[in-house]
């Protein structure tokens, strides 16, 4: 069989002999010749079917083909009726785009902006726009960028806080937008691109909407979800599905997939069955148990998107006994991170003070990695060094007056998804109770009082997206400004001064050096104990589309523009 006549199989595109997922002109010509010789001359030999040849031609011409079907758990996972109220639009949207987006390498990819630069003091940022059109045919212009900024602030919308420090946006010409900031900000593209990020919206549509809170893009007669991205709105039925189709006038390399359907399947077992039966093509964010059930199933593969969420044992540094640095240091040696990661499943221990190495890269201080290893003797020594504790002959830790250390830990918040916080506490409870003599209790509290509860508790469990651990700027989580506290009620004047210095430093190497010093302070003070990071498990059918694994999104989910620009159909069954 000539290599170029490969028929479709598991993750193999018809006609693609090189395995690069792109059918070349030579490969397509050879496939056509073999098909013609068979169909018109009766010549026996390997050849593609008519359907496979059509798929090969679609691939060669980059003509969208097929429909990807993705399950969602609830109607809230569809595109929201009012996109202005969806937090974090750009990174996880197929319809809407921002100016730039951050990637897992710590760099930025262009979306609507083809180039960008700043003044030397990073107080003025200039973005040059691509020649792009809105999905209704109107050109994208710098006036849309200015309008987005002004509208967010004028209407007091949720995402306005991302642009708090922007004084104004000016438009010297139709393709140039200039942001003027109140303060220097070398990470301004980061603010625009993720966590949560800002999309650009069409002025000619939204300037006529006086009250965006009441505007429903699903409603008959309203303009439906006009963006600039690679997919556009086609149809929807509330409570059932949301259908997107390829935007063939897209300003960049277009998608190979013709349609993307989000289908409501709330039941977990039904989603698993739908994947195995071929009703859906991909199943995102599955559990380790579900992944095990799919192991060995025909035409199904599971892969992992690492560092989706970072989990930590956080301290309220104003509450006793967590206001004692030796207490915090001692407990840092009393966490078996490997056991905790195993308890969660699909997790890796975190040995840094906060940043995740695979996302923050060289901004992680190597001298702070592994400083607090699992060693209960070190734990006891640190407790002995404190004026607040004593250690008896059995190695049990007590308060100085002999009372048992009792910890009541509230559970809830982001760390309670899939009961991760309970699993983490169960992993460490044996050491803390049996070997150190603590009495540890935990209770799930209602969402509406969770923040109040952790404000009164010395210890709580937190779960943050990996995008909150991917840059030295994220060390801002521990900064106490003159106007307010931080999540950990942590206040170190030296650290605060370093944070102020970081904010006013533009040189990358200098920022890294400041970040190293900040991490050294955190390693000494321990306002939180990073425990592990979990990935996102994704299952997909190998006989329908390929390319899922070759692009790792920065965010946890797969509904990412770069992923859907990369996947390609491998079978006519994808149609």
Per residue in 173-206, pLDDT tens? Answer: 999 999 999 999 998 998 898 767 788 999 999 9
Q: Are 17 and 27 in contact (CB under 8 A)?
A: yes
Residue 88: per-residue pLDDT: 46
**Lowest-pLDDT choice from 48-52, 181-185, 472-476, 491-495:** 48-52
Kindly report, as residue ranges, where domains of CATH 3.40.190.10 are found in the chain: 67-76+216-303+537-574
Residue 300: predicted pLDDT? 95
Secondary element (H or E) of residue 54: helix 50-61
Distance between CA atoms of residues 231 and 248, nearest Å? 8
pTM score above 0.95: no
Quick one: which of 162, 178, 181 has its CA closest to 170? 178
**Pairing between β-strand 67-72 and β-strand 389-391 as defined by DSSP bridges:** unpaired
Please list the alpha-helical segments (H only) found in 490-545: 493-503, 508-525
Beta bridge partners of 537: 286, 304
**Residue 299: exposed, middle, or buried by beta-carbon count in 10 A (0-12, 13-18, 19+)?**
middle
CA distance 116 to 473: 20
Whether 331 has a pLDDT exceeding 60, the answer reads: yes
| 503-539 pLDDT per residue, tens | 889 899 999 999 999 999 999 999 999 999 999 999 9
User: CB-hemisphere CA count at 13 Å for 425?
Assistant: 24
In this structure, are residues 275 and 300 in contact, taking their beta carbons and an 8 Å threshold?
Answer: yes
The answer to whether the beta carbons of residues 56 and 4 sit under 8 Å apart is: no
Q: Percent of the chain at pLDDT above 90? A: 62
Q: In the chain, where does the domain assigned CATH 3.10.105.10 lie?
A: 307-534
Other CB atoms within 10 A of residue 252 CB? 16
pLDDT band at 63; cut points 50, 70, 90: confident
Highest mean pLDDT: which range of 181-190, 225-234, 400-409: 400-409
- Cα–Cα nearest to 8, from 543, 547, 546, 550: 543
Question: In whole angstroms, what is the distance from residue 100 CA to residue 250 CA?
Answer: 16
Separation between Cα atoms, residue 288 and residue 426, nearest integer Å: 18
Indicate where the chain has its CATH 3.90.76.10 domain(s): 83-206
Domain 67-76+216-303+537-574 annotated CATH 3.30.1540.20: no
Q: For position 2, what pLDDT does the model report?
A: 37
Closest CA to 499 of 515, 483, 510: 515
Nearest to 382 by CA among 331, 432, 435: 331
Residues contacting 155, CB < 8 A, separation 6+: 84, 212
Residue 575 has what pLDDT?
60
Phi and psi of 568, rounded to 5°? -140, 145
Which pLDDT score, from 0 to 100, does residue 157 have? Answer: 86
Residue 291 host element (H or E): helix 288-294
Instruction: Provide CATH code, domain 83-206.
Output: 3.90.76.10
CA nearest to 566, candidates 230, 234, 71, 193: 230
Q: Give the separation between CA 77 and CA 522, rounded to whole angstroms.
A: 37
Spell out the long-range contacts of 115-121 with Cβ–Cβ below 8 A and sequence spacing 24 or more. 116/189, 118/186, 118/188, 118/506, 120/506, 121/184, 121/506
Phi, psi of 556 (to 5 degrees): -70, -35
Q: Lowest-confidence range among 75-84, 144-153, 258-267, 447-456?
A: 75-84
424: number of Cβ within 10 Å: 28
For the ranges 56-65, 141-150, 176-185, the lowest mean pLDDT is seen at: 56-65
Sort 46 into a burial class: Cβ within 10 Å, 0-12 / 13-18 / 19+.
middle
pLDDT tops 50 at residue 4: no
Mean pLDDT calculated for residue range 275-289: 93
Q: Assess whether pLDDT exceeds 90 at residue 222.
A: no
Find the mean pLDDT for residues 212-239.
Answer: 82
Phi-psi category of residue 147: left, alpha or beta, with phi > 0 → left and psi -120 to 50 → alpha: alpha
Q: Which residues, 6 or more positions from 153, have their beta carbon under 8 angstroms from its beta carbon?
A: 160, 163
pLDDT of residue 35 exceeding 80: no
Confidence of residue 27 (pLDDT cuts 50, 70, 90): confident
Q: Which of 312, 300, 282, 103 is nearest to 189 (CA)?
A: 103
Report the distance separating Cα 32 and Cα 17, nearest Å.
14
pLDDT of residue 181: 97
The mean per-residue pLDDT over the stretch 547-563 comes to 84
Q: Give the mean model confidence (pLDDT) for residues 218-225.
A: 73
Residue 9 banded pLDDT, cuts 50, 70, 90: very low
Looking at residue 38, what is its pLDDT? 74
pLDDT category of residue 8 using cuts at 50, 70 and 90: very low
At the topology level, CATH places domain 307-534 in Dipeptide-binding Protein; domain 3 (3.10.105)
Percent of the chain scoring above 70 in pLDDT: 94
Do strands 259-264 and 241-246 pair parallel, antiparallel, or not at all (unpaired)? Answer: antiparallel
pLDDT of the residue at 5: 42
Distance CA 197, CA 162 (A): 7
pLDDT of residue 89: 56
Which residue from 97, 94, 100 is spatially nearest to 79, judged by alpha carbons?
Answer: 94
């Amino acid at each position: 069989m000539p290599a170029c006549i490969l028929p479709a199989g598991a993750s193999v595109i018809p006609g693609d002999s090189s395995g690069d997922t792109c059918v070349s002109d030579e490969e397509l010509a050879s496939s056509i010749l073999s098909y013609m010789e068979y169909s018109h001359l009766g010549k026996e030999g390997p050849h593609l079917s008519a359907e496979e040849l059509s798929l090969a031609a679609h691939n060669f011409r980059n003509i969208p083909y097929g429909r990807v079907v993705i399950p969602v758990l609830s109607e809230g996972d569809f595109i929201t009726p009012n996109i202005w109220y969806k937090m974090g639009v750009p990174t996880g949207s197929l319809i809407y785009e921002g100016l730039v987006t951050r990637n897992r390498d710590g760099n930025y990819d262009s979306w609507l902006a083809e180039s960008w630069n700043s003044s030397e003091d990073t107080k003025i940022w200039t973005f040059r726009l691509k020649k792009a059109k809105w999905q209704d045919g109107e050109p994208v212009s710098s006036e849309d960028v200015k309008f987005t900024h002004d509208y967010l602030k004028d209407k007091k919308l949720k995402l306005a806080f991302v642009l708090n420090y922007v004084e104004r946006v000016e438009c010297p010409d139709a393709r140039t937008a200039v942001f003027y900031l109140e303060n220097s900000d070398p990470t301004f593209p980061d603010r625009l691109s993720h966590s949560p990020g800002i999309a650009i919206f069409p002025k000619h549509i939204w300037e006529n909407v006086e009250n965006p809170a009441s505007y429903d893009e699903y409603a008959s007669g309203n303009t439906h979800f006009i963006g600039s991205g690679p997919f556009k709105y086609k149809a929807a039925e509330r409570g059932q599905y949301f259908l997107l189709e390829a935007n063939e006038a897209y300003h960049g390399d277009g998608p190979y997939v013709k349609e993307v359907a989000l289908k409501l399947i709330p039941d977990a077992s039904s989603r698993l069955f739908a994947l195995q039966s071929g009703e859906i093509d991909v199943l995102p964010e599955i559990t380790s148990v579900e992944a095990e059930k799919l192991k060995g199933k025909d035409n199904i593969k599971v892969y992992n998107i690492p560092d989706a969420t970072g989990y930590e044992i956080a301290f309220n540094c104003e509450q006793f006994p967590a206001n004692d640095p030796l207490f915090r240091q001692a407990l840092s040696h009393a966490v078996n991170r490997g056991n905790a990661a195993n308890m969660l499943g699909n997790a890796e221990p975190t040995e840094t003070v906060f940043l995740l190495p695979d996302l923050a890269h060289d901004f992680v201080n190597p001298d702070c990695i592994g400083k607090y290893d699992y060693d209960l003797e070190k734990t006891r020594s640190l407790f002995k060094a404190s004026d607040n504790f004593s250690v008896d002959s059995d190695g049990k830790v007590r308060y100085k007056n002999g009372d048992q250390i009792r910890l009541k830990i509230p559970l809830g918040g982001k760390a309670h998804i899939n009961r991760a916080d309970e699993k983490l506490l169960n992993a460490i409870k044996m050491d803390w109770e049996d070997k150190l003599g603590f009495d540890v209790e935990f209770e799930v509290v209602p969402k509406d009082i969770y923040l109040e509860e952790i404000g009164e508790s010395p210890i709580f469990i937190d779960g943050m997206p990996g995008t909150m651990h991917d840059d030295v700027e994220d060390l801002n989580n521990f900064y106490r400004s003159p106007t307010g506290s931080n999540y950990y009620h942590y206040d170190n004047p030296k650290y605060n001064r370093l944070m102020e210095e970081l904010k006013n430093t533009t040189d990358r190497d200098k920022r890294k050096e400041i970040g190293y010093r900040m991490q050294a302070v955190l390693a000494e003070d321990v306002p939180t104990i990073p425990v592990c990071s979990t990935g996102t498990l994704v299952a997909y059918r190998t006989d329908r589309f390929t390319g899922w694994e070759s692009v790792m999104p920065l965010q946890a989910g797969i509904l990412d523009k770069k992923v859907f620009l990369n996947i390609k159909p491998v079978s006519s069954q994808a149609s």
